[in-house]
Chains A and B, each alone.
Chain A
Amino acid sequence: MFTEASLHLTLRVDGPSVRTVLVRSSRMVQAARLFAGKQPVEVLQLLPAVFSLCGSAQALTGLAAMEKAAAIAASPAQKAARNLLLLAESVSEHGLTIARDWPLLAGAAPSLDHAKRLRHALAGLRKALYPDGDWLHLGGGQLAPDTDAIASIITQCRDTLTQLVGNDLDEVVQPIAFQAWLQRETNPLLALVTSRCWQGLGASAAFMPMPERGPPDLSARLQTDREGIYLARPDCAGRVFETGPLAHWYWHPLLTDLTDRFGTGLMTRLAARLVLLAESLREMAEHAHDLRAEPAAPLPRLDGHGLALTEAARGMLAHRVVLKEGLVGEYQILAPTEWNFHPEGPLVRMLTGAPADQDLELRARLLVHAMDPCVTCTIEVE
C-alpha cells in the first residue's frame, strides 16, 4: 500500500514547558534516485505529475539543472516566462492558504470562492506563454506570449487578492497601512493572533535565514550524499537554515517593522505571506515585459552535471542531476520542508521551551502552519 508522506511532531512536556520536540518524517526524500536510467524528457514529464503542490517549481528546477548539466543557456525571454510560472504557483499556493487555511485555523468558514477564482485565473498562464504545451523543452519551448491574456491573468489575481484581504495588497504591505488594516479588517486568524497576544509566538528562537544563493557547501554535500542522509537532514556546518517567505523577504520594510516589534514570531511570519503575494504580483508584471516570441531550441547533446536552485512557494528548492550519454545518471531533490522541519531546525527551535499550557497544541499548530509544510503534519503532546 502506498502511504501518503507526512510529518509527525511530538512535544514532550516536562513541568511548565516543552522539554523536547521530536520530528518524525515519512517523506520520500530518495525517490528521485529512480529517475536514473530514464530519458531527461521522461523525467521532465514525470516531475509535474508526481508533485502535487509545487509541480511547476519541481519541473522548472529540474529543467534548469538539466540545462546546466548540458551547458545550455536559456534566453532572457525563456527565463522571464519560467519566472512567471514559478511566481504564479507561489501566488496560487499562498492565496489558497489565506483563503482556505487561515479561516479554518481560527474556526471560521473558508473563502473557497476566492481560492477557486485565483486558481482558475492562473490555470491559463502556461497556455498563454507556450501554446504548444512545450514549456519543459530543454533550452526553451516555442514561446508565443499572449500579452493581453497574461496581463488579464495578473489583473484577475490582483483583484481577487484585493477582495480576499479587503484592501489593495500593495497598500497592506506598507507598515503604517498594515496596522490600520489590522485594526479594521476582520481577518479571523490575525484577529485571533492579536486577541491572544500571540504576535511574537516563536520569536525567542534564533532566526537563521537561508543564504540567497543557498548553503555554500550545497553542491559538495549533495555530490557525496550516497545514503541520502543529507537529503533527509540537511545542514551547513551544523547550522540548519530556515527557508520560505520570511527567510526570503525579511528585509522588506513591513517585516523589519514587525520584527522590531514582535521579533520573527507568528505575526511577522503570517505577514511575510502577504509580502510574498504583493511582491510576486509586482515581479510577474515586470517579467511580462521581458517576454518575446521565440522558436523552440534544438536539442543538444546531454552530458554533464548540474545543480539548480529556485525560490518555490515554500522556500529554496534544489535539484542536482548527472547526465551520462543522454540519460539521467543521478538525480537528487532537496525540498524546503527538509530544512524547516529538520529535527534541529527552525520549528523545533521555536517550540523547544514553549510554555506547556492548555493552548500548547493550538500554538504549535499555528507555528507549523507558519512554517508551511508541503505534507500533512500531526501534533501530539506527551
Chain B
Amino acid sequence: MCMAVPSKVVAVDGQMATVEAFGQTRQTSLLMIDEPVSVGDYLVLGAGGNFAAEKVSEETALAAIDYLSQVLADGLA
C-alpha cells in the first residue's frame, strides 16, 4: 500500500525540512507546501520522501502513527 507515515518536523532550513518518524530522520523539500511549516508540525511525504506532500493536524498524525504502530507490531509491515 502507498501508506505514508506522518513525520514530525524537527528543523526547517529555508525550503528544506528535517523530519522524524519512528526514530528515523530525513530531509524533505517544502516546495510543494503552500502553508508555513514550523518545528513541531506534521508532514505527509510523497513516495520516496523527497517532497513533502501535505501538512496534517497533530490529531490526524497521531491517529495515523498509532495505527501504523499496530501494523508494525502485528508484523504486517
Contacts and interface: CB of A to CB of B under 8 A. Distances in A.
A375 B47 contact: yes
A96 B31 CA distance: 12
B67 A50 contact: yes
A337 interface: yes
Contact of A51 (B4, B24, B34, B48): B4
A80 B54 CA distance: 25
Interface residues of A, number: 36
A115 interface: yes
Give the interface centre of A32, A52, A333 by most chain B CB atoms within 10 Å. Answer: A52
Contacts of B48: 376
Contacts of A45: 60, 63
Interface in A158-199: none
Interface residues of B, number: 35
B3 A51 contact: yes
Contact of A2 (B46, B49, B53, B68): B68
Contacts of B1: 5, 27-29, 31-32, 51, 333, 335
Nearest to A123: B34
Contact of A116 (B3, B32, B45, B67): B32
Given A1-B23, A2-B72, A34-B71, A49 B5 contact: no
Given A4-B49, A45-B60, A45-B63, A337 B72 contact: no
Interface of B: 1-6, 21-24, 31-32, 34, 44-49, 51, 53-54, 56, 60-61, 63-64, 67-68, 70-72, 74, 76-77
Given A2-B77, A52-B46, 11 more contacts: A28-B1, A28-B77, A34-B76, A46-B63, A49-B6, A49-B64, A50-B3, A51-B1, A53-B46, A112-B32, A376-B47
